[in-house]
Amino acid sequence: DQQVKQNSPSLSVQEGRISILNCDYTNSMFDYFLWYKKYPAEGPTFLISISSIKDKNEDGRFTVFLNKSAKHLSLHIVPSQPGDSAVYFCAASGRTSYDKVIFGPGTSLSVIP
Amino acid sequence: EPEVTQTPSHQVTQMGQEVILRCVPISNHLYFYWYRQILGQKVEFLVSFYNNEISEKSEIFDDQFSVERPDGSNFTLKIRSTKLEDSAMYFCASRKPLGQDYTFGSGTRLTVV
């Protein structure tokens, strides 16, 4: 049962253009959403998050949009840089303090110089 | 910046042997987790640990697995009798009180031969 879905396994974008990574979730109890970036042989690195009470959160080149009614979120990276090439995991968490994070399968982003 | 430290970075073990994967979470964090990622698959939740006890575990975390925080700083994952299918990257994570951003370690690659 995939509670967090990332339907695009891979994405290629030209340097300087916008990268848009999409994520859908099925569990309406999720209260907090996170994006992680992962390089091979390293642990996931936290990138940006958004609470369910917001619809947008911005941090530098990274913006996350949340559409609760559609159970959809997206990560926008602009402008994309070659160093952004990595696997991006969408993740979701519930309301309690020790709630586990449920990861999506990831999208591999390649930024072409 | 504080980080979660995992040792060893790579462990090779024979099937049927016991392994202990070690983690040192961030010192003021109170919630601890183990996740794993089998090659080519998504990051999966194994177990969460709070107040010296397991708060939640997945169906992957069967009787062969156990966790311990023996001395207030280390957080260990023990696999009693390893199987080939236990080969994966194992990630430790911790989270501060009232925070929802996890910090992951860089992982231990476990190879069961």
Q: What does B19-40 look like in DSSP terms, one character per residue? A: EEEEEE--TT--EEEEEEE-TT
Is A34 close to B43, i.e. CB distance below 8 A?
Answer: no
Q: What does the pLDDT read at residue A21?
A: 98
Please count the residues of chain B.
113
Is A93 close to B100, i.e. CB distance below 8 A?
Answer: yes
In this structure, the strands spanning B10-13 and B108-112 are parallel
Cβ-contact A98, A32 below 8 angstroms: no
Q: Which of A34, A43, A99 lies at the smallest CB-CB distance from B107?
A: A43
Name the residue in chain A with its Cα closest to that of B10: A41
Which of A51, A90, A96, A98 is the mutation pick for testing B, counting most B CBs within 10 A? Answer: A98
Is B97 close to A102, i.e. CB distance below 8 A?
Answer: no
Q: What does B73-105 look like in DSSP terms, one character per residue? A: S-EEEEESS--GGG-EEEEEEEE-TT----EE-
Is A41 close to B97, i.e. CB distance below 8 A?
Answer: no
Q: Tell me the per-residue pLDDT of A1-16, one tens digit each, with 9 for 90 and over.
A: 679 999 999 999 999 9
Q: Tell me the per-residue pLDDT of A51-97, one tens digit each, with 9 for 90 and over.
A: 999 999 999 999 999 999 999 999 999 999 999 999 999 999 887 65
Q: What does the pLDDT read at residue B98?
A: 66
Q: Which of B42, B50, B105 lies at the smallest CB-CB distance from A43?
A: B105
In this structure, the strands spanning A10-14 and A107-112 are parallel
Can you list the residues of chain B whose pLDDT is less than 50?
A: none
Q: Tell me the per-residue pLDDT of A19-62, one tens digit each, with 9 for 90 and over.
A: 999 999 998 889 889 999 999 878 889 899 999 999 999 999 99
Q: How far apart are CA B50 and CA B58, in angstroms?
A: 15
3-state secondary structure of B7: strand
